[in-house]
Structure 1
Amino acid sequence: MARILMVAAEGLPFIKSGGLADVIGSLPQALSNKGHEVRVVLPLYRPIAEKYHQDFQLEAQYSVSIAYHEVPVNIWSSMVKDVKFYFVEHKGYFERDNMYGYMDDGERFAYFQKAVIEMLNQLNYFPEIMHSHDWHTGMIPAMCKEGHSFDERYRNIRHVYTIHNLAYQGNFGVEMLDSCLGLDYRIYDNGNVRYDGGISFMKSGILYADKVTTVSPTYSQEILTPQYGEHLEMVLNIRKYDLWGITNGIDIESWNPMTDPQVPYNFNKVNVKKAKALNKEALQKELGLTVDPDVMLVGVVSRLTWQKGFYLMMEKLSEICQMPIQLAVLGSGEASIEEKMAQLEAGNRGKIAFYKGYNDSLAHRIYAACDMFLMPSLFEPCGISQLISMRYGTLPLVRETGGLKDTVTPYNEFDKTGNGFSFTNYNSDEMIQVMYNAISVYYDRPEDWKTLVRNAMDTDVSWDHSADTYCQLYSQLHL
């Protein structure tokens, strides 16, 4: 069994902006359950500091060179079950209003990565495998292999790099190589990190890691093509024999309809129909929807962005408003979509409810109360929401892309198989057609709907199988 250090920009139970945090919250524990010794390192953001700092242990104090200055580092730690979490503290870089989106993000995450690499030396803790996630950690394999190649302790580390979303790449000016990362311009000149006149953290991670993974088998194939490759498809094709697609799971303890404290009426697959009706009534009252236990309630919990398929919905809003359904939308994102959703709610009181922002507790209640969950993504590396919705007996309606294609089996009216509904092309007519089909099954074939709900709740959405695949991957490296 291996010593594994996961390095990421966010992770539950401490902080979350997207699916990466869910993975970091549950995969390390799943690997620990299989006998690995897993640790995790995150930046110490303000919300973490405000909530948890008094419980942390100080592990080390040192400095790293950023922009030709020595910048101090404090390393704190905390145990979550069997997994040790480290936190890199720098108030100026990380204790801000948001996690990302600043002009100096390159410098901030260069500091984070440098601090992590020096942390190994300071703590005299050298993992056999360093598993880095997304662009924020993409320079770690290069920094170990190019910057510390003289040190056997670093040289012996094997590197796994996971792409959670190829669209966010961490592209910055070339001057960062020397000033912040302490790396030679040679790796820019030879093309290893060069991208569009600057450097790419994502490209570096892909080329320097020993193995590259992404979060579903279909997405691992899609990103080799120009349509999904985000201009890195040539680089990914160089590494395609080291590229693994491993589907994410979810934390089935946190997401459990039988024990979920956020849900008014807990249920399992035996009493799902009755409990769903009660949860639906409670949610309708909470969101100001017309109370009707029989109406089909459709949920959306999502970032409101082009990637998530909201432009398809925008094209068909008038038709969606005419359907015999209610719609509950939770999320925030692009201002134009937020505005449209708010207008839609105002013009369809009692039928459409829009909650702007993120509310974790409300998300649980939407998953539990809804009959169907809409997720018509343009692309979706894995997707977490469709896994949660199935766990709660809410049938996902998805576009067949990435992890959505791998996890949702469309309803087959002849043999009554499937755990949801899907459409193939990014096309609003196709989406509407499948929505009408789903509505027809809900109202006209209730026994089929009941079978699909049972199939969805029987779907294994845990980390167990995926953790086994990661174990296989690590064992290939840990020889």
Structure 2
Amino acid sequence: MKSVLFVAAEGLPYIKTGGLADVIGSLPKILNEKGMDARVVLPLYKRIAEKYRGEFTKLKTIPIHVGVIDTVATIYQSQWENVTYYFIEHAGYFERDGLYGYPDDGERFAFYQKAVLEMLWAIDFFPDIMHCHDWHTGMIAAMCHIQYPDDQRYQQIKHMYTIHNLAFQGNFPADVLTDCLGIDRRYFDDGSMRFHNGISFMKTGIIFSDKITTVSPSYSQEILTAQYGEQMDEVLRFRQSDLYGIVNGIDTKMWDPMTDPALPAHYNAETVLEGKRANKAAVQKELGLRVADDVMMIGIVSRLTWQKGVYLIIEKMADIMGLDVQFVVLGTGETHIENQFKMMEDKYRRRAVYYCGYNDELAHRIYAGCDLFLMPSLFEPCGIGQLIAMHYGSLPLVRETGGLRDTVHPYNQYTKEGNGFSFTAFNSHDMLYTLRCAADAYYLNRADWDQLVQQAMGTDVSWNLSADQYTKLYNEMD
């Protein structure tokens, strides 16, 4: 039985800011069900400490000496379902209101990575594989090799590194290498950790790990190009033979329209028409929209940033609302975008609504109540929203990029194939054309629409297949 330690900066059910947390909350659980020993380690953030610390088991307090950092870390342990979680406590570094975006992030996550490595001997758990995620853990493979050269327990560990979003790279000044990570400057001088006159945690993870994965096959190819490579494409092409794309899944027990406690009406593929009608009416009443079961409701649950393609929506808002639709948007992001959606709500009273913030239960109801789920992303490493939407019988309309292209298959009016709608070029005209085609199918060809809903709900969006692919890669790392 292989042992795997997932090292990440966030993970459900304890803390979440993005899709990384969903992966950490789901994949280890499925791997354990398949006979592996998968565990997780996370920083003990303020939000976790306030809610859960009293329930955790305190294991040890250990000294951490790395560069100029001379402090201690306290290790806690917890169990969630069938997964063991470890937490690294340091009040100064992690008990803050936010998770990231601080001037000392390089120092904070240098400490975290060193503490994780020191934790291994402290609890006497040396996994076969350390599976690190995103920039916050990118230095671990290098630190393991460089800082423990005479300890076979460390040298025998294999390292997998997963890129969830190449746009966030953990780039810091060069002195972070020596001052915070305790690594000789020659690794900067020889270029293996250097990036734009500083150092890059992500580049280091790519260079020093045994295998690199991304969260969809298409994204693994896109990031080899200058267009999507975020100036890291040359490094990735260097490691191309060890680069794999494995699409994410969702926790189909947590996201289940038959049991979801946030829904006023439960349903499955057989009762989807009645179930979605009831959930749509509930969303309409809750948000002050006109209650009508025959109007197509478009939903968005997203961070409202340039990456998500929302400027395409803003550009064509008048045309979209010129169709017979209702529009529901949930999320926060760039101030300009938020203001545009507030203006939309003012202009199209009882037809459009913008919920500025995040409400998890409302998000569930939007997935269940809307007919069409809109994701016109500029790039999308994998995407979780389209998977949830399909599982809830809401047809996704996406741009063909990354994981959206891998999971959403466009409606073919001749063969009746597909589980959603998609467009290729990143422009508002193509998005609007596809949206009009979707509206035509909804209003004028309802038999095809209902068949698409069945095909969407029949799409396997679970972690089972992806977990098998990860297991195969783990086994190849002997």
Please give the TM-score of this superposition, normalised by the length of structure 1: 0.99
CA deviation vs aligned residue, 1:283-325 (integer Å, no higher than 9, x gap) = 0010111111110000000000000001111211111121110
* 1:89 matched residue in structure 2: 89
**When the two structures are aligned, how many residues end up with a matched partner?**
478
* 1:178 matched residue in structure 2: 178
Distance change >3 Å, CA 287–CA 66, structure 1 → 2: farther
* 1:231 matched residue in structure 2: 231
- Whether the aligned pair in 1 keeps the contact of 2:3 and 2:37 (CA below 8 Å) is yes
Letter of the structure 2 residue corresponding to residue 415 of structure 1 = T
Deviation of 1:271 (Å): 0.9
* 1:277 matched residue in structure 2: 277
Distance change >3 Å, CA 18–CA 224, structure 1 → 2: same
Name the SS for the 1:440 alignment partner. Answer: helix
Q: 1:132, 1:214 → 2: CA distance?
A: 12
Does residue 208 in structure 1 map to residue 214 in structure 2? no
Deviation of 1:72 (Å): 1.3
Letter of the structure 2 residue corresponding to residue 350 of structure 1 = R
1:9-408 map, 5 Å: 9-66=9-66, 68-408=68-408
- Whether the aligned pair in 2 keeps the contact of 1:65 and 1:180 (CA below 8 Å) is no
Name the SS for the 2:476 alignment partner. Answer: helix
- Whether the aligned pair in 2 keeps the contact of 1:46 and 1:94 (CA below 8 Å) is yes
Q: 2:246, 2:213 → 1: CA distance?
A: 7
CA deviation vs aligned residue, 1:220-252 (integer Å, no higher than 9, x gap) = 000000000000000000000000100000000
Q: 2:245, 2:166 → 1: CA distance?
A: 13
* 1:8 matched residue in structure 2: 8
Deviation of 1:359 (Å): 0.9
What is the Cα-based RMSD across aligned positions, in Å? 0.8
Name the SS for the 1:362 alignment partner. Answer: helix
Letter of the structure 1 residue corresponding to residue 314 of structure 2 = M
Q: 1:201, 1:364 → 2: CA distance?
A: 35
Deviation of 1:149 (Å): 2.0
Name the SS for the 1:252 alignment partner. Answer: coil
Q: 1:11, 1:397 → 2: CA distance?
A: 28
CA deviation vs aligned residue, 1:196-242 (integer Å, no higher than 9, x gap) = 00000000000000000000000000000000000000000000000
Q: 2:361, 2:93 → 1: CA distance?
A: 30
Deviation of 1:469 (Å): 0.2
Name the SS for the 2:411 alignment partner. Answer: coil
- Whether the aligned pair in 2 keeps the contact of 1:400 and 1:423 (CA below 8 Å) is yes
Name the SS for the 2:303 alignment partner. Answer: coil
- Whether the aligned pair in 2 keeps the contact of 1:374 and 1:398 (CA below 8 Å) is yes
Name the SS for the 2:253 alignment partner. Answer: coil
Letter of the structure 2 residue corresponding to residue 455 of structure 1 = Q
Letter of the structure 2 residue corresponding to residue 216 of structure 1 = S
1:454-465 map, 5 Å: 454-465=454-465
Q: 1:321, 1:464 → 2: CA distance?
A: 40
| Range with bigger deviation, 452-461 or 356-365 | 356-365
Q: 1:282, 1:69 → 2: CA distance?
A: 54
Name the SS for the 2:162 alignment partner. Answer: strand
Name the SS for the 2:409 alignment partner. Answer: coil
1:430-469 map, 5 Å: 430-469=430-469
Name the SS for the 1:378 alignment partner. Answer: coil
- Whether the aligned pair in 1 keeps the contact of 2:187 and 2:193 (CA below 8 Å) is yes
Moved over 6 A (4+): none
- Whether the aligned pair in 1 keeps the contact of 2:161 and 2:213 (CA below 8 Å) is yes
Name the SS for the 2:224 alignment partner. Answer: coil
Q: 1:254, 1:414 → 2: CA distance?
A: 36
- Whether the aligned pair in 1 keeps the contact of 2:69 and 2:180 (CA below 8 Å) is no
- Whether the aligned pair in 1 keeps the contact of 2:160 and 2:211 (CA below 8 Å) is yes
Q: 1:327, 1:59 → 2: CA distance?
A: 50
Deviation of 1:349 (Å): 1.1
Q: 1:448, 1:474 → 2: CA distance?
A: 42
| Range with bigger deviation, 465-474 or 174-183 | 174-183
Deviation of 1:66 (Å): 5.0
Q: 1:95, 1:264 → 2: CA distance?
A: 37
- Whether the aligned pair in 2 keeps the contact of 1:379 and 1:402 (CA below 8 Å) is yes
CA deviation vs aligned residue, 1:399-430 (integer Å, no higher than 9, x gap) = 00000000000001011110000000101100
| Range with bigger deviation, 444-453 or 338-347 | 338-347
Letter of the structure 2 residue corresponding to residue 236 of structure 1 = L
Q: 1:289, 1:71 → 2: CA distance?
A: 55
Deviation of 1:70 (Å): 1.5
Letter of the structure 1 residue corresponding to residue 368 of structure 2 = A
Q: 1:349, 1:105 → 2: CA distance?
A: 43
Q: 1:291, 1:353 → 2: CA distance?
A: 13
Q: 1:319, 1:147 → 2: CA distance?
A: 60
Q: 1:23, 1:287 → 2: CA distance?
A: 31
CA deviation vs aligned residue, 1:119-141 (integer Å, no higher than 9, x gap) = 00111110010000000000001
Deviation of 1:150 (Å): 2.0
Letter of the structure 1 residue corresponding to residue 430 of structure 2 = E
CA deviation vs aligned residue, 1:327-370 (integer Å, no higher than 9, x gap) = 10000011110111111111111111111111111100000000
Letter of the structure 1 residue corresponding to residue 223 of structure 2 = I
1:417-432 map, 5 Å: 417-432=417-432
Q: 1:356, 1:105 → 2: CA distance?
A: 28
- Whether the aligned pair in 2 keeps the contact of 1:251 and 1:463 (CA below 8 Å) is yes
- Whether the aligned pair in 1 keeps the contact of 2:69 and 2:111 (CA below 8 Å) is no
Deviation of 1:148 (Å): 1.4
Letter of the structure 1 residue corresponding to residue 335 of structure 2 = A
Name the SS for the 2:220 alignment partner. Answer: helix
Deviation of 1:396 (Å): 0.1
Q: 1:297, 1:66 → 2: CA distance?
A: 54
Q: 2:150, 2:231 → 1: CA distance?
A: 33
CA deviation vs aligned residue, 1:246-274 (integer Å, no higher than 9, x gap) = 00000000000000000000000111111
- Whether the aligned pair in 1 keeps the contact of 2:67 and 2:182 (CA below 8 Å) is no
Deviation of 1:67 (Å): 5.4
